[in-house]
Structures are given as structure tokens and as C-alpha cells.
Amino acid sequence: MQIIKPEEVLSEYHPPLTDHEAVVEANRCLYCYDAPCTHACPTHIDIPRFIKKIATGNLVGSARTILESNLMGATCARVCPVEELCEGACVLGAEHKPIMIGRLQRYATDYVYEHGIDVFKPGAPTGKKVAVIGAGPAGLTCAGELAKLGHSVTVFEKRELPNGLSTYGIIVLREPVEVALAEAEMVRRLGVEIKTQMELGRNLSWEEVRNNFDAVFLSVGLGSVPQLGIPGEELIVDGLSYIETSKMNPQALQVGREVVVIGAGNTAVDCATIAKRLGAERVTMVYRRTDKEMTAYPHEYEFAKKEGIEFRFLTQPVEVLHEGGKITGLKCVRMQLGAPDASGRPAPEPVPGSEFVLPCDQVVKAIGQEKPAVAKLLGLETEKGFIKVNHEFETSLPGVYAGGDCIRAKGSASTVMAVQDGKLAAFAIHRRLVAGLEAAAD
């Protein structure tokens, strides 16, 4: 029998670039002016500049250029959908291969983390205090940027470890846990206090936060995977927990022989990949619409197919079949596309009498996440269930800002978007606090 070692089959997919590879690739970059890759990057990293610095052997300067625009540059180097962003816009893409921007970014940021080099220092103290709720990429970025500007920042995180989905929600194949934790440590070394296992409404009161801080940034992400509302649902595994276990305690992850993953987003692909790599004989993703509507990026879809994952489109689960607490199959119904629904996409409708059973012994669901509960807790205005913010990332409560997945009413949720929110919110908070300081000085 083949013994599967999770640390091997789930280890980071791309090897790091060698020094030679990095320099050759960096020298291939044209050093465009006002480059489209920089425009396409949500955090607008000056990409030609950081690549030029790799070409000249100035790796600390390169990493600083990246991290100046994006404090979570090491994560983004790994998890960004570069095909849709920087690399997709590379001028060399039309006729040749675009520059491997993501992997070069990883090369530069890895260098400073591996060598223990801090490229930023905390700013001169302003005496202002900011609370950040949630230590994910948006929260850590906001905290780090504020610390660079001299503000005293405390981050409250409900979980044991910081850096949110980078730590818990991205499969090791794409990003090892150590990278996410190194980023959080870098923010900590900027003077930010990160208090973990502190949850708003549980052991952290909102009054305490409001009374003790000059501004608040909410970066609480989203909730758990929503209910499907089908019989036998209690036997379905939550996709995010599935990924979390694969990272934190892979030996403990129970993987079925025949696994069905419900959903067709990037998280669903990740769950299917884990199952396949950890020994499932057959992994099937079921999605009620077609491949045209699925939210997984095209390159993720291609990756999944190469991993041997099967897809059943226009398929809706209706019941989990089980015997004695053990799953025996997923009963589904065939769907057809009807008139466009509220999302503008054709609405899937069941085909009467088309029920069939997908035999399986494990069902994982990755169909998105619940809207942030904290909005209701704090009485914030919402937009489609997400926290509503103005152009300055300020919520309906003055002095309370928000960013990251919890405000993502439009656009796609991604780490790099969360980072940009955190950064812009930090600047907005800074402007507010500095205005206060100047008023006090007058």
C-alpha cells in the first residue's frame, strides 16, 4: 500500500526561483514606464522597479519596493491570481510569455524574511491609539501602515494564530503557514500588539474598544460556510475546516475514498485538490451552473483538471444519503439554465424527474461564506449584508472603519484587495488622527 505523506503531497507547488533563474527573468523585464502590471495590481506595487532591483542584485531594496505598496507581499506573491492581474497585463504577454512577476516577488520577499531583515521602522509616536479587529491581511496591513506612521496599534484576533485566511484558509500547496506567520511577525516588530483569542462580543467588549482607542478598523472577514438546507447536511464537512485541518494537523484529516465537493470557487478547487492528493480515488466537484458561471479562476480550473478532479456542472445536491451515520451518496438533480436572475447570470432551474445519486463517502461544501455577523452586533449599516463603508472606508459609525472581505459587496474577494483596503483605510485613519493632532496643537 502506498503511504501518503501530507507534508510531501501538499508542500508548496512552485519551487523557489534559483538566483540564476531570478536574475535571468528579471533581466527579461522591459522596465516599462507607467507599467500596465503596476496599474493592474490592486495595491499598485511598482513592479518594474522591484524587478530592476532584482536584476541589479539589490534584493533588500526590491523587497522594500514591494512591501511599501503591499505589506502582505509574500502572501500575495503566492496567492494572487496573477493571470488576472499583473502578469495578465504584462506587455510581453501578447507575443511571448509574460514576466513571472509573482515568483519574482516571492524571491525578493523571501529574501528579507529568510535573512531576518526588517525594511521598515516604526514611526515617531503620535500618541494616538487605534484598535484593529481581526488579524487577517486587511487588519495586519492597516495595523502595519499605522505603526509606520507612529500610531499605537492593537490588533484583536479571535483565533489562536494571526493572519486570517492566509494562515488557515489557503492550502499549503499555495502558501505554507510559516509565510503567513512571518508577515504577522513583521507587523509585530513594527510595534503592533497582536492579541489573539480575543473575540468581540465574547471576551472583548465593544465599549472597551470604543473608549480606549481613537479609531477602530474592522477587518473581521466573513462567517462560516452557509447552510444548503438539505437532509443529511449535518454529515457534510465544512470546506474551510477541511483546509484548516490540512494545514494545522494534516495527519488528522479524514479523507474519503470517493469525495464530492459542492461548489466551484477557488476554495472548492482547493478542497478537491487536498482530497485528491491525500488519496481519494475519485473527487467530483458539483456545481449547479456551468463552467461559464463558476467563480474559480480559469487557471485554477485548468489546474484542477490536471489534478484529475472531475466536474459535474448543472448539478444540484438535494440530499445526503447515509447509513448508520456513514455517507453512501449524494442525491442530486440535473439543472438547466433559465432566465437571468438578480446576479445577471442565467438562473439554474431543476429538470423535473432528473434525480440521480453520486455514490460517495465524503461530501465537502465550499459554497461561499456567511455575511459578517459583527455588522448586526454593532448596528452598522450594511450593503447586501456586507458592512457599508464610504469612500474613506469609514462605516456608518464615525471613527470606525472597515475593510477586507467583510465590505466586499462588489468585486472579488482576494488577499490583495484586502491589503489595498487596509492600506487605504490606514491612510484615511491617519488623516483623521493627524487632523486631530493639528487641531490640538493650534
Partner 1 sequence: MADLSINFAGIKSPNPFWLASAPPTNSGAQIHRAFEYGWGGAVWKTIGAPVLNVSNRYGAWHYGGQKMLAINNVELISDRPLEVNLREIRDVKRHWPDRAVIVSAMVESTPEAWRDIILKIEDTGADGIELNYGCPHGMSERGMGSAVGQVPEYCQQITQWVMDVAKIPVIVKLTPNVASVVPPARAALAAGANALSLINTINSIIGIDLDTLEITPSIGGKGGHGGYAGPAVKPIALNLLSSLGVDPVVKQSGVPISGMGGISTWRDAAEFLLLGATSLQVCTAVMHYGYRIIEDLTDGLNAWMDAKGFKTIADVVGKSLPRISDFKDFDLSFRAVARINPDKCIQCNLCYVACNDTAHQCIDLVDASGNRVQPYSYDVRSNGKHEAVSTRPQPVVREDDCVGCRLCHNVCPVDGCIEMVELPSGRPSITWDELTKARPELATDWEAMKRYREEVGIEIH
- Shortest Cβ distance from residue 399 to partner 1 (Å)? 22
What single-letter amino acid sits at 389?
A: V
In angstroms, the Cα distances linking 122 to 144, 190, 219 are 9, 5, 22
Q: How far apart are CA 206 and CA 199, in angstroms?
A: 10
- Shortest Cβ distance from residue 293 to partner 1 (Å)? 18
- Shortest Cβ distance from residue 28 to partner 1 (Å)? 8
Among residues 26 and 225, whose Cβ is nearest to partner 1? 26
Write the DSSP assignment of 321-338 as a string of letters: EEETTEEEEEEEEEEEEE
Among residues 13 and 31, whose Cβ is nearest to partner 1? 31
- Shortest Cβ distance from residue 27 to partner 1 (Å)? 4
Give residues 98-137 in contact with partner 1 (rule: CB under 8 A): none
Among residues 30 and 435, whose Cβ is nearest to partner 1? 30
Residue closest to 426 by CA, chosen among 398, 392, 395, 396: 392
- Shortest Cβ distance from residue 54 to partner 1 (Å)? 11
Q: How far apart are CA 344 and CA 354, in angstroms?
A: 26
Q: Distance from first CA to last CA of the chain, Å, rounded?
A: 77
Among residues 306 and 410, whose Cβ is nearest to partner 1? 410
Site track for partner 1 across 73-92, x = CB under 8 A? ----------xxxx-xx-xx
- Shortest Cβ distance from residue 30 to partner 1 (Å)? 5
Asked if 221 and 406 touch (Cβ cutoff 8 Å), the reply is yes
Give residues 378-437 in contact with partner 1 (rule: CB under 8 A): 417, 420, 424
Among residues 111 and 297, whose Cβ is nearest to partner 1? 297
Among residues 42 and 137, whose Cβ is nearest to partner 1? 42
- Shortest Cβ distance from residue 298 to partner 1 (Å)? 12
- Shortest Cβ distance from residue 21 to partner 1 (Å)? 11
Return the C-alpha cell found at 301.
480550473
Backbone angles phi, psi at 46, to 5 degrees: -75, 85
Calculate helix-pair angle for 266-277, 298-306, nearest 10 degrees.
20
Among residues 311 and 386, whose Cβ is nearest to partner 1? 386
Torsion of CA 389, 390, 394, 395, to 10 degrees: -40
Residue closest to 137 by CA, chosen among 100, 186, 198: 186
Q: How many residues bind partner 1 (CB under 8 A)?
A: 31
Among residues 9 and 32, whose Cβ is nearest to partner 1? 32
Give residues 20-49 in contact with partner 1 (rule: CB under 8 A): 23-24, 26-27, 30-37, 39-42, 44
Among residues 26 and 173, whose Cβ is nearest to partner 1? 26
Q: How far apart are CA 366 and CA 269, in angstroms?
A: 9
Give residues 328-347 in contact with partner 1 (rule: CB under 8 A): none
- Shortest Cβ distance from residue 63 to partner 1 (Å)? 20
| Beta strands in 54-205, from DSSP E residues, in sequence order | 129-133, 152-157, 193-196
| Beta strands in 60-207, from DSSP E residues, in sequence order | 129-133, 152-157, 193-196
Site track for partner 1 across 44-63, x = CB under 8 A? x----------x--------
Question: Mapping DSSP to helix (H, G, I), strand (E, B) and coil, where does residue 236 land?
Answer: coil
Backbone angles phi, psi at 290, to 5 degrees: -110, 180
Question: Mapping DSSP to helix (H, G, I), strand (E, B) and coil, where does residue 193 land?
Answer: strand
**Sites of contact with partner 1 (CB under 8 A):** 23-24, 26-27, 30-37, 39-42, 44, 55, 83-86, 88-89, 91-92, 94-95, 417, 420, 424
